[in-house]
Amino acid sequence: MRIPHRLHVLENGLRLFVHEDHTSPIVTSQLVVHVGSARESAGRTGFAHLFEHMMFQGSGRVPEGQFFQRIQEAGGSLNANTSSDRTLYFEELPKDQLELALWMESDRLGWLLEALDQATLDNQRDVVLEERKQNYEQKPYGGVYEALLAIAFPREHPYSWPTIGSADDVRAATLEDVTSFFRRWYVPNNATLALAGDLEFERAVELVERHYGPIPAGAPVARMAQHPVTLRETRRVFYEDRVPTPQLNIAWPTVHAGHEDAPALDLLLQVLSANRSSVLDRAMTVDEHLASQLNASHVSRELAGTLNFALRPHEGVALDRLVERLEELLAETARRGVTQDELDRVRSSHEAALVRGLERVASRASVLALNDRLRGDADALEHDAEARAKVTPEQVTDALRRYLVDRPFAVVSCVPHGKAELALAGSTPAAQEPAPAPERTEPPLEPWVAPPIGTHVEPRLDHAELLPVMPESWQGALHGGATITSAPGGPLPLLRLRLAVPCGRMHQGAGSFGLASMT
């Protein structure tokens, strides 16, 4: 499906997408800055994620602590997240408060450096280091992802270190380092803004020009070239952790987002492990009781992709047996071939899940902004769906043979402390720290001068009483007496059915408590 939108490009290069949906009186702002950990260089890993934190610590006209407070007092919510490819900042709030979000968001993009100081850096550096401890170093199985990246991608690859970065790099960051990083990447011509909800295009353009327009463009930012990976041999590492049972994490190199093979690989993942009746889940968790957990994903990112499996064995099952059986099942599926029935089932459920994920306007706005900035195609959602609709069983089988069967992979064994013998045979100890990022040379920057405020002034907003717009409904009755209520559900091609039967707990008699729940 296509998300309807209109595009406006500011003189400073900021790309604005507007998606109107007047179902409810809410709006969302989704700002994508095209910088993630893949843009980092030697000695500066973790900077993209560090800046996600620092963007909430105050800017030229917004004091520290006010960003969360003012958005929440206006009835809104907000947050941000960083990946290897981008950083996303988002707010969702009542429609009459849209300008508040635009004023505050643009203030930190254009005037953050007016408030950035050593104390702010020191504070957020400590926060990030503590986050690293909690989510990577002290969390059970927390080191798996970092260990897997280090062997799934060659040392010079931009995906070979995690977004959290090296603790040493974060500790060593200076105010000059982070200021230069911000000035290089946090510029309007390296960002896309998507607004969605109960708003009009012309008014949205007016407000965005008012607040983002005064920010000057930065130095040109080129797209990074795709960086596919080919492993010459299977790479096995292990590490010991405070965990009750071993876990295997496996990654096969695949393709970047938008590659011609990506649709077939997406559907292959669904055939292999969409639910308990899928090929791998049925055999390994249901029929043969080899694995207590099996999770799978196909991650196609901007530069490269991987097809990933995470497995935990049942007690007494060796990790080597899990890998052996996994490879056997992949080979068996390739020999017999994926059937049309298998493909049709998973394709329908996959597309339905994608549509359900677009019910909130915030989801639609983020899809527009992310696809525009990372793919250069705001309509990539529609184009990908069209490509998947044309995939044949033969193409899915071919993808399985070319990318997984008898192909080298990267695998991490996480085992309980003192039980290294449980690791996959041939595994070596995982590196304790991520490999250093490669050196990169960026163009020199002119001395920073705060942009003139111009039309970027704080809005004076009243809080209007906003009531939800209830759709017109239709009511009728069936011959047996059951009543029917129907109402339009919004712009998505979804149909929801709910059945309410008056037979709850109040109808239970003595000796039949719990019968309603069982029914």
Residue 510 pLDDT > 70: no
Q: Give the Cα separation of 226 and 259 in Å (integer).
A: 10
CA within 13 Å, CB half, 503: 9
Q: How many C-beta atoms lie closer than 10 Å to residue 210's C-beta? A: 18
pLDDT of the residue at 474:
73
Domain 235-429 grouped into CATH 3.30.830.10: yes
Mean pLDDT, residues 380-407: 98
| Span 111-150, pLDDT tens digits | 999 999 999 999 999 999 999 999 999 999 999 999 999 9
What percent of the chain shows pLDDT beyond 90?
A: 81
| pTM of the entire predicted model | 0.92
pLDDT over 70 (residue 518): no
- pLDDT of 490 reads 65
6-212 CATH choice from 3.40.50.300, 3.40.605.10, 3.20.20.60, 3.30.830.10: 3.30.830.10
Residues 453-473 have pLDDT tens digits of 889 999 987 766 666 666 677
Q: What is the 3-state secondary structure (H, E, C) of 255-267?
A: CCCCCCCHHHHHH
Comparing 369 with 42, the larger pLDDT belongs to 369
Q: 190-229: per-residue pLDDT in tens?
A: 999 999 999 999 999 999 999 999 999 999 999 999 999 9
Residues 284, 290, 294, 300, CA torsion sign = negative
Instruction: Outline which parts of the chain fall under CATH 3.30.830.10.
Output: 6-212, 235-429
Residue 341, token pair as written in the block: 């029935």
Do residues 290 and 314 make contact, with C-beta atoms less than 8 angstroms apart?
A: yes
Residue 22 pLDDT > 80: yes
C-alpha dihedral, 157 to 161 to 164 to 168, nearest 10° = -110
Mean pLDDT of all residues in 8-26: 97
β-bridge partners, 475: 485
